Structure 1
């Protein structure tokens, strides 16, 4: 796999990709099998640290997951020196209610996690922990004000979560958000927001992002830790089937209307909630009564089948290359 996808001045931990794409960390759904498949396919795979939850008295499952991912990717690289795996990332929820954060930071530093994705609050000590082991930090933001705060507190790069992204998402157009960030920041930027095909990935690059950030299509993969009904709902739905609400976690995000309806609620008349309702002390901000409310971004109209993660990356890579050639031909001469 030749590295034709990333700029040479990016941090070394962000290079070596087949295409400039990051598989976003999916609550509950992202697991070692999915991350390993994404990395072997040539994109950065990721998972939320809080997905690794052990029973009381058991050793930290996060450590076991990092061991599994590290050893499997090392084995792959030894067997495929001309086709090495991409780096992997771990997402840390840095909200003050996350009582596991300090422990999880220590574990990630011990295993020298190459890419750290931070969410829900920028904190200097988290960035320092990542840098202590050679890691690079990408902080997700929904507007330019939060972007500046993240960089001021030591993040190395940004994930611009624009309108149409799955899960917790902003409302700003990606066209506006990326341009505002690029007016003052020339470091690594990934764009999140309905990226589900190679054409969208190329558009993100043309706008000024270094990477696309894609999550919802990976829900409908064999490796994903999602119910079969959830995967099929992704396949059967389009952008019109997405509802934007703060009710379920206290932070506004995008969800599948059909899952809201199945829970007995009217997706067109949902009450609001505020950020004070967020609580990650048990590893989730979602009340048990809403565990069947399923997140998704608006790009799922491109998801036609449940496939392997590697096959999905193959599709996006082929589309990305074809779209680039079409545009290059327009500007030739």
Structure 2
């Protein structure tokens, strides 16, 4: 059974937190549209000496969603989530945990490591924690450390994706876990959302289609490249961060790099510190999942969610009649 915070969404979708792309505008639009919106805490980067931008972002999100709920009591916004990169190079983690705890963030998403103290902080402020995993071994470790739910990151997902088929990954996790389970990996239509549920997930975890929305904090060229590209334009490589991920070949070529001649990097190369030069370099290599072939236009979040809902309900009706 899903916890109440995940039970009353317009459609069973959580928008995944995307590096650089996800900010307050995108999160607020996603929540107002009736799905969980999210962003990585590390996207909120202030200049040295300035107050924490994460604090300002959370204040803005809460105030705008509260205002929406007061004006639309019959159509309240969905909850929001903050992603914490739980990696040893993230020097901000302790500070960001304190800020999220103070703002009573309702949903905490953790990546690249499972930490007991993060889950405890989420629970202490009344929230739940979801941890993303690429195999059953990592899933068991996350649950042992107190995660409430899991995000199965299967082959084809944007960002640091796994390599396992969603069918294999979901069935192995479901063999020992009956709690909240989300699926990530090339989900870009309402029909795919329903397929995720049929395969054993409770909710779909969708990222790349939201890059091509007006509210996304992505360069115009990035948004258009999502529209123009398909699964064949996505390459899976560890070359940029040390951990394998899916990236758009055209963006790699635009950066003057041959996508067919990439070298390897090791996980030790991963660094989530405050090196702004590295952030700038990564911002020019654009990530995407294999589901982008379903994206044919740049549109507002509300329009994308409406399409997903229409496709999802149509697929349910079709299967009910089969």
Where do 1:31-180 residues align within 5 Å? 31-180=23-172
Shift of 1:288: 3.9
Q: Deviations over 1:216-254 (max 9, x none)?
A: 000000000000000000000000000000010011000
The equivalent residue for 1:321 is 313
CA spacing shift, 1:101–1:281, aligned 2, 3 Å: same
Q: What residue in structure 2 maps to residue 279 of structure 1?
A: 271
Task: Answer yes or no: is the 8 Å Cα contact 1:249–1:286 preserved in 2.
Answer: no
Measured against aligned partners, the alpha-carbon deviations of 1:165-198 in whole angstroms (never above 9, x if no partner) come to 0010000000100000001100001100000000
276-285 or 99-108: bigger deviation: 276-285
Change in CA separation of 1:12 and 1:255 when aligned onto 2, cut-off 3 Å: same
Change (3 A) 1:16 1:172: same
Q: Is the 8 A contact 2:87 2:113 kept in 1?
A: yes
Computed over aligned residues only, the root mean square deviation of the Cα atoms, in angstroms, reads: 1.2
CA contact (8 A) 1:162 1:192 kept: yes
Mean CA deviation greater in 288-297 or 68-77: 288-297
The answer as to whether partners of 1:251 and 1:275 remain within 8 angstroms in 2 is yes
Indicate the residue corresponding to 1:255 in structure 2. Answer: 247
Equivalent residues in 2 for 1:165-204 (5 A)? 165-204=157-196
**Total equivalences in the alignment:** 322
Aligned partners of 1:239, 1:137: CA distance in 2, in Å? 31
2:201 aligned residue: 209
Q: Distance in 2 between matches of 1:322 and 1:28?
A: 33
Aligned 8 A contact 1:248 1:286 in 2: no
Distance in 2 between residues matched to 1:285 and 1:170, nearest whole Å: 27
TM-score, length-scaled by structure 1: 0.95
Displacement of 1:285 after TM fit? 10
Runs of 5+ consecutive residues of structure 2 not aligned to the other structure: none
Distance 1:93 1:112 in 2: 18
In 2: Cα distance, 1:101 partner to 1:113 partner: 15
Q: Deviations over 1:189-222 (max 9, x none)?
A: 1100000000110000001101100000000000
Q: In structure 2, do the counterparts of structure 1 residues 196 and 283 end up closer, same or farther at CA, with 3 Å as the change threshold?
A: farther
- Give TM-score, length-normalised by structure 2: 0.98
- 1:15 deviates by 2.3
Q: Give the superposition deviation at 1:283.
A: 6.9
